[in-house]
Amino acid sequence: MASDRKPAIKDFLHMNGGNGEFSYAINSSNQESLIRKVHPILKEIIKGIANDPDGFPPCFHIADLGCSSGPNTLFFVSNIMEEVHEVCKEKKLKPPQFQVFLNDLFGNDFNTLFGSLPTFYAKRNKDNEENFGRCFISAVPGSFYGRLFPDQSIHFFHSSGCLHWLSQVPKDIENNGLNVFMAKTSPPNVFEMYKMQFQNDFTAFLESRSKEIIRGGHMLLTFGGRSNVDPYCNNSHVNLWELFTRSLADMVKEGIVTESQIAAFNVPTYNPYKDEVRDLVHIQGSFSLDTLDTFEVNWYTDDTDDDHGNVKARNQQSLGKRAAKMIRAGSEPMLITYFGSSAMDLIFQKFEKYMDEHLANTEETKPLLIVISLTKK
Ligand SMILES: C[S@@+](CC[C@H](N)C(=O)[O-])C[C@H]1O[C@@H](n2cnc3c(N)ncnc32)[C@H](O)[C@@H]1O
């Protein structure tokens, strides 16, 4: 670790910036598939707004929370604008203008995102100049576990692939030893503290959004979950961090990282079971829960076409590498904070090897996603 100060999540929790080999921008097609999967729900919400007597406001205020630095956030923005456009055409309504706020933590590479705006605007203007509401995009850095916007100023909140990231590593889990997550050998308090941290964070998220959203406004949220009520079930998230722990253990044997570095590191994510989410929405009380659904994705095998059984065999050679790149793009700033940048290549080479072995010998456990849509009461 670079210093004795305990690292704060806001300092390291962001994806790899830029457009290089390990950047989030070029290793986030799996996350794009989540946006595609939940598109039918988005469509329904937009239709519902168009059918409401109040319809769309003159300027539709949208926020994408946890936008990161890749192309997915603008993909979502295009999607929602097109859906609004379609429905306005069908109902002969004047399309609204769009004010879009892209949010992420302060360390996010917003500059890469800004760099892609001219192409985005040019395409919009070319395709739709005459009959499409204008779009104004800006960035709002800060944590979505606190306030980001003025009271009742947003009509639609979106977030994809983010809310399983916690606001901090749970407290009082020093006895988790060399585990870096909730593992089979973790003491019971570790499971409890992770769960409690998620409950506090998710509630804080709903509290802040409930103040910022207009009455009748909508939220569409997709994030990692688990399929079993038991937090230590056979889910892909557990597999992933166990393979990672093995890579770290090898590096201890080779004298590259120390046990105390591993003991200081715990991954700040929690994948809830759907009932936990439902209960928290009801307890917080500001939103009605319109949709609560789960779906699986082919994370490590193929991101473009879920439905073909032969995809895994076709891509077999590169699975470990591909998985390692994806994980690296999403966690390298955090891992550098704990283990130093010189350890990164080796950690991910080992991880790649373990991932290949795992996927060759085991039926892949696919990540489970939870999607919810909510309306402000
Ligand atoms: C896996 S990326 C998803 C990015 C994007 N939504 C997509 O679909 O590709 C998760 C993002 O959530 C952001 N994030 C995590 N915790 C956050 C917080 N408390 N406030 C704002 N952003 C956060 C991370 O920095 C990261 O960019």
What domains are defined for the chain?
Answer: 9-376 (3.40.50.150)
Q: What's the confidence (pLDDT) of residue 276?
A: 97
pLDDT of residue 127: 62
Amino acid identity at 11: D
**What pLDDT shows up at residue 130?**
57
Element (H, E) at 49: helix 39-51
Q: What's the pLDDT score for residue 197?
A: 96
- What residues contact 286, with CB distance under 8 A and at least 6 apart? 206, 207, 210, 376, 377
Query: What pLDDT does 351 receive?
Result: 86
Instruction: Decide: 1 and 338 in contact? Cβ < 8 Å.
Output: yes
Which protein residue has the closest C-alpha to ligand 1 atom 5?
67
- If DSSP codes are grouped into helix, strand and coil, which group holds residue 353? helix
Q: Give the number of the atom of ligand 1 that is nearest the alpha carbon of residue 13.
A: 25
Indicate the top mutation candidate among 34, 38, 162 to test ligand 1's pocket, ranked by most ligand atoms within 8 A of CB.
162
Q: How far is the CA of 317 from the centre of ligand 1 (A)?
A: 30
User: d(Cα 61, Cα 200) in Å, to the nearest integer?
Assistant: 27
Where in the chain does DSSP place strands (E)? 59-65, 97-104, 135-141, 154-160, 213-225, 287-296, 368-376
pLDDT of residue 259: 87
Stretches in the chain below the pLDDT threshold 70: 1-12, 20, 25, 126-133, 234-238, 299-318, 363-365
Residue 133 is predicted with a pLDDT of 66
Q: What's the confidence (pLDDT) of residue 216?
A: 96
pLDDT tens digit string along 212-255?
999 999 999 999 999 888 877 756 666 778 888 888 888 888 88
Q: What does the block give as tokens for 137?
A: 């995009």
Instruction: Please list, in sequence order, all residues whose beta carbon lies within 8 angstroms of the beta carbon of residue 77, skipping any fewer than 6 positions away.
Output: 62, 64, 98, 100, 120, 135, 137
pLDDT at position 32 is 81
Residue 375: beta bridge partners? 218, 288
Instruction: Give ligand 1 pocket residues (Cβ under 6 A).
Output: 13-15, 28, 31, 66-68, 70, 72-73, 103-105, 108, 143-145, 160-162, 165, 167, 330
